[in-house]
């Protein structure tokens, strides 16, 4: 019944712009290990910033940083401990921060000595919560803003090299997928959510011990359940069935349809189901089961659709760009304050099924880059044309809103953004067909058609790599 109400709400909302009870920010981020985990990620981070993003999601492979064997009498909470190798991570973090980006670090993939018994991918089998918390403490201390990277230089006059402060810490990735965490079930009973809760509690205590203002991000759930892996909603409810410490809940609402599309199963959570997920989170907060020092955030730490071209099963470019802008609006309206787009640049289709980049393999900008950078939506309703948008990078400013019904554009009005770069208004006009756009100085959004677009089925990842086209 709850899912039915959520679907109806999304359908009714299809033509209306409704602000959340407390309008908040909409920050955008990019996640792309293929682009960022390279010897020199400067160019990739520069493009990320040019896409209007102010955040970047970086994967920290615990197994790669920690020693292959745990040394005797080893203090794993000390970032200076023998065996830790932080060089590659230091380089990536410093480059990201130098380009004005606020990193989200997701810590995953345990070393073999921190795994429990059982079968599964390397680094995923029963990661020890205590060991995980100790590694998180070492990482949070290293990136506290006060750690000197030259601590072991014997020269007493050596330059002090302080590493950046990282505030955003995500505990694992898609823990409801057997690809990332095993086991999911034992004797027909879900065990993964309870093990993940233990991991998050140890992780949170460690990260908050380093700095109480750090943000601990839990969840990051895959949107669909399958045989052998639970859907996000039952996993979330099990996870929240006992006290757990975190500051932000996150989800990965990859969707087999448009921005208002709901998953077919009540156990799953696509874009259209975010209100239900947010309601579940708020109920847990009210019950006192979420231990936190302030308000609890709701983020999306992965999301995208593939484009056609290059993916023959992706979305056509024009529809893709429309859905990108509208998805950002829908997520913001449903209480999401950070949205992370998956892929800066397409992977070669012969290698993987990830062609959701804002740039092509050859670094040619796609139409959707503008939609992501300067999202604007407009819907014709009974009261007129309702417009919502966010400026690039969420900067404050005064935007010009324009409408086109024939060959030329005419001004609808001027709007001053809020402190988050968000603007919205209803314009009294009988126009029901045409296009709306916004301009901020010399920058213009894409035209957004007032003609509604019907929902349609689409595999968000299309084909490519091991998935035949």
Q: Which helix (H) or strand (E) holds 308?
A: strand 307-308
CA nearest to 317, candidates 357, 366, 271, 365: 366
Distance of CA 317 to the CA centre of its chain: 22
Q: Is the peptide bond before 309 cis (omega within 30 degrees of 0)?
A: yes
Q: Which backbone phi and psi does 196 adopt, to 5 degrees?
A: -65, -40
Q: Which residues contact 84 (CB under 8 A, 6 or more apart)?
A: 65, 66, 67, 138
Is residue 74 within 8 A of residue 106, CB to CB? The reply is no
Q: How far apart are CA 171 and CA 107, in angstroms?
A: 6
Would you write out the chain's pLDDT as a tens digit for each of its 469 residues? 334 434 333 333 344 455 554 579 999 999 999 999 998 999 999 999 999 999 999 999 999 999 999 999 999 999 999 999 999 999 999 999 999 999 999 999 999 999 999 999 999 999 999 999 999 999 999 999 999 999 998 888 889 999 999 999 999 999 999 999 999 999 999 999 999 999 999 999 999 999 999 999 999 999 999 888 899 999 999 999 999 999 999 999 999 999 999 999 999 999 999 999 999 999 999 999 999 989 999 999 999 999 999 999 999 999 999 999 999 999 999 999 999 999 999 999 999 999 999 999 999 999 999 999 999 999 999 999 999 999 999 999 999 999 999 999 999 999 999 999 999 999 999 999 999 999 999 999 999 999 999 999 999 999 999 999 9
Q: Which backbone phi and psi does 292 adopt, to 5 degrees?
A: -155, 165
| pLDDT of amino acid 17 | 56
Q: How many CB atoms lie within 10 A of CB 42?
A: 13
Inter-CA distances, 35 with 46, 172, 359, 361, Å: 11, 20, 11, 11
Q: How far apart are CA 223 and CA 87, in angstroms?
A: 34
Is residue 438 within 8 A of residue 374, CB to CB? The reply is yes
Name the token pair of 318: 């024009």
| pLDDT of amino acid 1 | 34
**Residue pLDDT, tens place only, 25-53:** 999 999 999 999 998 999 999 999 999 99
Q: What's the pTM value of the predicted model, to 2 decimals?
A: 0.94
The one-character DSSP state at 429 is -
Inter-CA distances, 349 with 33, 44, 204, 314, 346, Å: 17, 20, 38, 11, 8
Inter-CA distances, 221 with 60, 203, 285, 328, Å: 17, 17, 18, 19
Q: How many CB atoms lie within 10 A of CB 362?
A: 7
| pLDDT of amino acid 20 | 54
Q: How far apart are CA 457 and CA 246, in angstroms?
A: 35
| pLDDT of amino acid 154 | 86
Q: What is the dihedral of CA 405, 407, 408, 410, to 10 degrees?
A: -10
Q: Alpha helix locations (H) across 143-273?
A: 192-210, 232-239
Report angle CA 27, 101, 438 to the nearest 5 degrees.
45
């Amino acid at each position: 019944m709850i899912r039915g109400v959520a679907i109806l709400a999304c359908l009714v909302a299809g033509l209306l712009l409704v602000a959340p009870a407390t309008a908040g920010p909409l920050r955008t981020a990019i996640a792309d290990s293929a682009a960022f985990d390279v010897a020199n990620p400067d160019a990739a981070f520069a493009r990320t910033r040019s896409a209007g993003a102010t955040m970047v999601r970086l994967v920290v492979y615990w197994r790669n940083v920690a020693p292959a064997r745990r040394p005797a009498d080893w203090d794993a909470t000390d970032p200076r401990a023998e065996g830790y190798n932080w060089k590659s991570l230091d380089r990536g973090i410093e480059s990201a921060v130098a380009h004005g980006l606020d990193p989200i670090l997701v810590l995953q993939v345990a070393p073999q000595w921190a795994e429990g018994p059982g079968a599964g991918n390397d680094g995923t089998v029963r990661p020890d919560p205590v060991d995980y918390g100790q590694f998180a403490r070492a990482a949070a201390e290293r990136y506290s803003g006060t750690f000197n990277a030259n601590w072991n230089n014997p020269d007493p006059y050596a330059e002090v090299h302080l590493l950046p402060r990282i505030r955003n810490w995500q505990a694992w990735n898609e823990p409801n997928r057997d690809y990332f965490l095993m086991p999911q079930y034992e004797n027909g009973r879900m065990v993964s959510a309870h093990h993940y809760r233990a991991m998050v509690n140890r992780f949170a205590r460690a990260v908050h011990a380093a700095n109480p203002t750090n943000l601990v991000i839990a969840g990051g759930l895959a949107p669909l359940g399958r045989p052998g892996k639970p859907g996000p909603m039952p996993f979330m409810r099990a996870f929240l069935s006992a006290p757990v410490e975190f500051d932000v809940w996150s989800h990965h609402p990859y969707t087999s349809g448009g921005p208002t599309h709901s998953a077919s199963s009540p156990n799953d959570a696509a874009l259209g189901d975010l209100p239900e997920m947010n309601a579940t989170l708020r109920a847990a907060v009210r019950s006192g089961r979420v231990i936190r020092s302030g308000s609890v955030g709701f983020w999306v730490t992965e999301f995208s659709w593939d484009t056609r071209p290059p993916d023959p099963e992706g979305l056509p470019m024009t529809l893709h760009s429309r859905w990108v802008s509208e998805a950002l609006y829908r997520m913001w309206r449903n209480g999401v304050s950070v949205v992370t787009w998956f892929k800066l640049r397409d992977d070669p289709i012969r290698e993987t099924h990830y062609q959701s980049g804002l740039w092509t393999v050859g670094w040619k900008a796609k139409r959707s880059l503008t939609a992501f950078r300067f999202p604007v939506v407009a819907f014709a309703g009974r009261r007129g044309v309702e417009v919502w948008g966010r400026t690039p990078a969420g900067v404050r400013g005064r935007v010009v809103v324009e409408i086109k019904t024939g060959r030329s554009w005419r001004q609808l009005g001027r709007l001053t953004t809020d402190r988050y770069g968000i603007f919205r208004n209803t314009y009294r006009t009988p126009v029901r067909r045409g296009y709306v756009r916004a301009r901020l100085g010399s920058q213009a959004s894409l035209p957004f058609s007032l003609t509604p677009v019907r929902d349609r089925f689409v595999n968000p990842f299309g084909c490519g790599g091991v998935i035949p086209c």
